[in-house]
Amino acid sequence: LDDLLGEGVRGRRVLVRADLNVPLDGEKITDDGRVRAALPTIRSLTEAGARVVVAAHLGRPKGTPDPAFSLRPVAVRLGELLGSEVTLAGDVVGDQAKAAAESLGDGGVVLLENVRFDARETSKSEDERAELARELAALTGDDGAFVSDGFGVVHRKQASVYDVARVLPAYAGGLVLAELEVLRTLTGDPQRPYAVVLGGSKVSDKLAVIEALLPKVDRLLVGGGMCFTFLAAQGHGVGSSLLESDMVDTCKRLLAEAGDKLLLPADIVVADAFAADAAKRTVPVTGIEDGWMGLDIGPTTVAAFGAAVRDARTLFWNGPMGVFEMAPFAHGTRGVASAIAESEAFSVVGGGDSAAAVRLLGLPEDGFSHISTGGGASLEYLEGKELPGVAVLSEER
């Protein structure tokens, strides 16, 4: 981005790929963290006089316009935060997008409609993606540029993330650079003890990162829905808790490989239904009865996990410890997250859900060294995978 600003951008149209994929309740944004994280790059461009065309996605529409996935609420919020109106183009690369881009003045911002309304965005066909990329690039006219700033989506080989960087002069935005610098600290030579806290619903989603991290960490704490497959692998009954039966053998192997490094819950808050007003009680992991489902880790576990993170020097946390969206099952996530926030460690929160939990539970954001905007992207980085949207920026052209 500094290179681009150094070239001068006044009057030039710059396409910025941002990750504005925020959680919505109807038209209401429940966590605007990603919109706020996109501001510095957009601001530095508008302040330098660029005409900014923002491309972003929301959710996973089926490659066709769908009002339920419109970026309209995001355009409104972006405008509020920037302090100047942001026009939402009614389409991605059609007449409305062209007109909106052409009518931009210096320092103006237009947001294109959800780029996934165009099926070519996520197409497996490189030709189709390249065609959309050329149409996106054309919105910037003859002397356009592309700034890749949607860190949360750089693990996707998609037209507005990857292919467009092969068409326009392409630059890394400040958010992408900042996120990569933090993650490099975790994969480089982290200060020890290095503890990782993983939660979320599925072991299968986290398997690759568990395999990659186990040799590198001193402690791996597992809570959230995924802990029940591990508990089943230890021979415990898990009632009607989340269980990935086809992963039980894998969990047995991981438990054997990890030895003392892997900490599982000792007690669980179980409920008789998946509802905030369900009957609930706390039981030891040996006592989860049929008909009951685990929706949070219990207080003994919160204390043990808290102790295990408190003296760590490096911490990475991804995934809630329970169904934190329902107040009766938020204690585990709140307790562990608070212990992380209170620790002196270099602490990184990775992922959409965990970052949202920090804000929704009102935890002090400044207690964490870094709250990543990337869920899948930060996990894939830690797995050691190449991120296509980053790799493409250093391709020879």
Q: Which residues are catalytic?
A: 34, 202, 352, 376
Per CB under 6 A, the segment of 131-139, 150-158, 225-233, 281-289 that binds ligand 3PG is 150-158
d(CA 321, CA 338): 12
Q: Strand order in 194-198's β-sheet? A: 262-263, 219-222, 194-198, 314-318, 346-349, 370-371
Closest residue to ligand 3PG in the complex (CB): 21
Q: Which of 152, 200, 322, 389 binds ligand 3PG (CB under 6 A)?
A: 152
**Interacting residues with ligand 3PG between 60 and 79 (CB under 6 A):** 60
Distances (CA, A) of 29 to 23, 71, 135, 154: 6, 11, 30, 23
**Residue 182 has which token pair?**
């933090």
Residue 372 assigned ligand-binding role: no
Q: Which of 326, 376, 383, 385 binds ligand 3PG (CB under 6 A)?
A: 376
Q: Does 375 bind ligand 3PG (CB under 6 A)?
A: yes
Residue 351 assigned ligand-binding role: yes
Per CB under 6 A, the segment of 23-31, 148-156, 305-313, 362-370 that binds ligand 3PG is 148-156
**Residue 119 has which token pair?**
């099926």
Beta pairing, strands 51-55 & 109-111: parallel
Tell me how many residues contact ligand 3PG (CB under 6 A): 9
Residue 331 assigned ligand-binding role: no
Distances (CA, A) of 316 to 89, 121, 309, 335: 38, 32, 10, 15
Q: Which of 16, 21, 209, 357 binds ligand 3PG (CB under 6 A)?
A: 21
Residue 375 assigned ligand-binding role: no
d(CA 71, CA 279): 39
Cis before residue 193, ω within 30 degrees of 0? yes
Q: Which of 156, 206, 219, 280 binds ligand 3PG (CB under 6 A)?
A: 156
Per CB under 6 A, the segment of 71-79, 99-107, 149-157, 296-304 that binds ligand 3PG is 149-157
Q: Which of 335, 352, 388, 389 binds ligand 3PG (CB under 6 A)?
A: 352
* Residues whose CB is less than 8 angstroms from the CB of residue 278 and which lie 6 or more positions away in sequence, other chains included: 271, 272, 295, 328
Interacting residue ranges for ligand 3PG, rule: CB under 6 A: 19, 21, 60, 152-153, 156, 352, 375-376
